[in-house]
Amino acid sequence: MHPEPIFILGIPFHLFGIFSSLSIILGYLLITRELRRSGIEGDIGADYLLAFLLPAFFTARAAFVVSHWNFYAPAPLDVLKVWEGGLVLSGGLMGGAAGVYLFCLIKRLPFGRVADATAPGLALGLAVSRLGCWFAGCCYGRPSHLPWAVTFKNQPALSNVPDGPLHPTQLYAFLIGIAVFAALLQLRKRKTFEGEVMLMGLTLIAGARMFLDLFRGDVYAPMSVLALSVFLCSLILYVGHKSKQRRNLMRVRNWGLLTLVLVVALNSACLIATDKAVRGHNLLAGDVATISKGVTTEKGVIKLFGPPTKVRDTDTGSEYLYEYAQSGGLRWTAIVHVGGSSQVKSLVVWFDKNGVVEDYAYKVN
């Protein structure tokens, strides 16, 4: 994979941003085509895009901050530094849906029909955006020795991606997203009620996220709960609508299928064994707290944490990077995640030319 960013004529281009923009463009083109195909009159594409993107951006940022609050709690104003990255796609979906609903109320448009026109473009956009995650190294997988496992190289100094081969979960998400996109295109040709395509899309997207959490190395409990909530709500609404249309034996079968899925989702545990991996010396918060700016020396830091993972010379001295990662073991996954947890810690220490600590940064995920 290519390191982030790439430079063209000396100008840095972040591939995550490029693919995010591409996902918006492709989604917009497809959605506007589907709106016209569904009989929505007028040129509402630009207004619709704004109604979706603005609330989606804020809720995507809010979801990221909530799931990384231990990082933002010491410096709450860093929440505003959106240029440093930090958006959660599933969180953005919630805000985008609310924005579109209000847009339909104001424009007096049938929400179900607009939602159905949105679903395929949304699935395609989510799939393409995962290619940006692939290049940026976020949403990474757990350690794996499968033939298609990947190793991220040329990482930024504070990257949390563990060394060694990992599941390429970004590519899993891309392929699943394309499959969902294709399925929704077929469903829209034979849908039986307004909103069916969107409900099925949300069910498949949320279900895919729950499945991918089995292989991801950066699973956050709030996002897992959100995915489960979306999955259950959309599935219940979908089956409920289908049941209203078929007041015969099919109704019993639909609710039987729903019960089966709920039992599997809520009570069936998936017990898997992940490859055990530990990298680096454990960076204990208590040890980090003993570092004193202007007092602690390089020898003192090495005594605490051992040899650094990386060393870089700076204009004013030097920089030590320490990284610690552990994952693997038995993992039971249903609504909650027990065992097999992953933890990544990073410590960067800056020294002046005399080998005395100028500053340091400690991060735990």
Mean pLDDT by 10 residues, the chain (365 residues): 54 69 82 82 72 82 73 73 63 79 86 87 88 79 84 58 79 92 89 87 87 80 73 82 61 54 50 55 82 91 87 89 72 48 81 91 83
Residues 95 and 164 in one domain: yes
The total number of residues written for the chain in this structure = 365
Q: Taking the complete model, does pTM exceed 0.85, yes or no? A: no
Residue 1 lies in a domain: no
The DSSP secondary-structure symbol of 150 reads B
Residues 289 and 249 in one domain: no
Residues 24 and 159 in one domain: yes
Q: Among 268, 283, 301, identify where a domain stops.
A: 268
| Amino acid residing at 173 | A
Contact 66, 88 (CB under 8 A): no
The DSSP bridge partners found for residue 337 are 333
51 vs 49: CA distance, rounded Å = 5
Per-residue three-class SS string for 212-239: HCCCECCCCHHHHHHHHHHHHHHHHHHH
Nearest one of 344, 228, 237, 229 to 282, comparing CA atoms:
344
Residues 238 and 353 in one domain: no
Question: C-alpha angle 9/13/19, rounded to 5°?
Answer: 140
pLDDT value of position 235:
83
CATH classification of the domain holding 328: 3.30.1450
Residue 95 lies in a domain: yes
Residues 356 and 283 in one domain: yes
Contact 314, 350 (CB under 8 A): yes
pLDDT value of position 271:
45
The angle that helices 249-267 and 221-245 make with each other, rounded to 10 degrees, is: 170
Q: Among 268, 293, 321, identify where a domain stops.
A: 268
Q: Among 231, 252, 268, identify where a domain stops.
A: 268
Residues 183 and 56 in one domain: yes
167 vs 151: CA distance, rounded Å = 9
Residues 209 and 105 in one domain: yes
